Amino acid sequence: MPIGITALGTYVPTRVLTNKDLEGMFDTSDEWIVSRTGIRERRLAGEEEFASDMGVRAVNDLVARYPGALEGVDLVLCATSSPDAFFPSTAAIVAGQVGLNGAGALDVSVACTGFVYALSVAQGMLMGGTATKVLVLGAEVLSKIVDWTDRSTCILFGDGAGAAIVEEVPEGYGFQSFVLGADSAGGSSLYKFAIADRIPGVPVGTGNAMLGMNGREVFKFAVRVLTDSGQKAMHKAGLKGSDIDWMVPHQANIRIIESACGRFGVPIDKTVVNLDRFGNTSSASVPLALREALDDGRIQDGDQLLLVAFGGGLSWGASAMKWYGGAGLKVAQNVAAQEQNVAPEQELAQ
């Protein structure tokens, strides 16, 4: 059975931190940050706002757009590298707050690749019969785990969340392929300690207790694996670069995205980019970019998409998918009918 995304909601905090603001915090400049990353501003969570809070707000946005979308959800997956706690899972916390108590719930920890991984897990659970309808989240509060004295990393990250319903879709739509991978040999290039203050390749006692990153190594890794995984996902789906209507990449660095575009044969004007306003939101970046392109009309029903991401692990993931817009169209008809106090089936008959 074909599986795809049928509903999508997002949330970003209200606080905006611009590059000009960062100029007052340490030795940097708007020009320096933009030229190296493409980022101009990012959103930061409030002091008492955490991944679960943003996940709940993303779900609320989803339900506002698609009333009734949570009906029948029996599994919640939350991709996050900044969870509220080791346990309970952030997925379970969100599930309890959005009326899904009793549904299965687990976190997916693959850093920035998490949302693509979680979509693949959801597809497997559905096809295996373990679940019938899955809520997939990507929720991050990276502002709480970065070192705000390290200008090489803190300039990159922002906070946000996305929420998607994954379920059966009509023939011809949905996920066509997934490619997932990880290489722990590169783990010392991008990490965040938890219980053990050791990572292979990082001498004990020398690592940063906050998020640590070797930007040069991550850049080289990202360009290579985005290209490799994206090409493999297209090959598995029988596609080539010219077949892609929109590429939706992880929003890490504009130079990485431009390099990947050149290698894919997908032009930058067919690539969804919003990192200039949100920065790197890790597992939330793909749903945030996807929702924006839906809202402004770039992505339409039946469009051929390529999702690509990379992150800590070091990890990578890609998916080719045919976008299903039918759920959104049906919801719009229902809302319009309710506003006119007309039953949806009556409106469609008129």
State the Cα–Cα distance between residues 139 and 148, nearest whole angstrom: 20
Give residue 348's pLDDT band: very low, low, confident or very high (50, 70, 90).
very low
Residue 342 has pLDDT above 90, yes or no: no
pLDDT at residue 195, rounded to an integer: 56
| pLDDT, tens digit, 9 for 90 and up, residues 264-276 | 889 999 999 999 9
| pLDDT at residue number 313 | 81
Q: Looking at the domain covering 175-327, what would its CATH class be?
A: alpha beta
Mean pLDDT of the chain: 90
Q: Tell whether the model's pLDDT for residue 331 goes beyond 70.
A: no
List pLDDT tens digits, range 23-38.
Answer: 999 999 999 999 999 9
> How do residues 274-285 score in pLDDT, each as one tens digit?
999 999 999 999
Residue 225 — pLDDT band, cuts 50, 70, 90?
confident
pTM across the whole model: 0.91
Q: DSSP alpha helices (H): ranges in 11-70?
A: 19-23, 30-37, 51-65
Matching fold, domains 3-172 and 175-327: yes
Residue 345's pLDDT is what? Answer: 43
Tell me the pLDDT band of 232, cut-offs 50, 70 and 90: very high
Per-residue pLDDT tens digits for 206-222: 556 677 777 677 777 77
Q: Which of 19, 78, 112, 154 is catalytic?
A: 112
**pLDDT value at position 59?**
98
Q: Which two tokens stand for residue 7?
A: 């509903």
188 CB-near residues (< 8 Å, 6+ apart): 199, 200, 201, 202, 214
Distance separating alpha carbons of residues 308 and 178, to the nearest angstrom: 10
pLDDT for 340 equals 56
CATH 3.40.50.2000 fits 3-172, yes or no: no
Tell the residue number behind the tokens 């938890």, with chain if given.
194
Q: What is the mean pLDDT of residues 46-75?
A: 98
Please tell me the chain's helix, strand, coil percentages from 3-state DSSP, rounded to the nearest 5.
40, 25, 35
Q: Please compute the mean of the pLDDT values over residues 147-163 and round it to a whole number.
A: 94
Collapsed DSSP state (helix, strand, coil) of residue 125: helix
* pLDDT higher than threshold 70 for residue 332: no
Q: Which of 12-21, 120-129, 147-156 has the lowest mean pLDDT?
A: 147-156
Q: What is the pLDDT of residues 174-189, one digit of tens each?
A: 999 999 999 877 766 6
At 344, is the pLDDT very low, low, confident or very high (cuts 50, 70, 90)? very low
Q: What is the mean pLDDT of residues 118-140?
A: 98
Give the whole-angstrom CA distance, residue 72 versus residue 92.
Answer: 16
Whether the Cβ atoms of residue 126 and residue 166 lie closer than 8 Å to each other: yes
Residue 238, phi-psi category: left (phi > 0), alpha (psi -120 to 50), beta (remainder): left
pLDDT of 335 over the 70 cut: no
Give the whole-angstrom CA distance, residue 8 versus residue 286. 11
SS3 110: coil
Q: What are phi and psi of 230, to 5 degrees?
A: -65, -40
Return the pLDDT at 264: 84
As a whole number of angstroms, the distance between CA 177 and CA 231 comes to 11
* Options 78, 250, 253, 261, the catalytic residue: 250
Q: Where are the domains of the chain?
A: 3-172, 175-327
Of residues 140, 91, 136, the one with CA closest to residue 118: 136
State mean pLDDT over 120-136: 98
Let me know if 250 is a catalytic residue. yes
Determine the pLDDT at residue 167.
98
Name residue, tokens 């053990």: 196
Name which of 41-50, 192-201, 269-278 the model is least confident about. Answer: 192-201
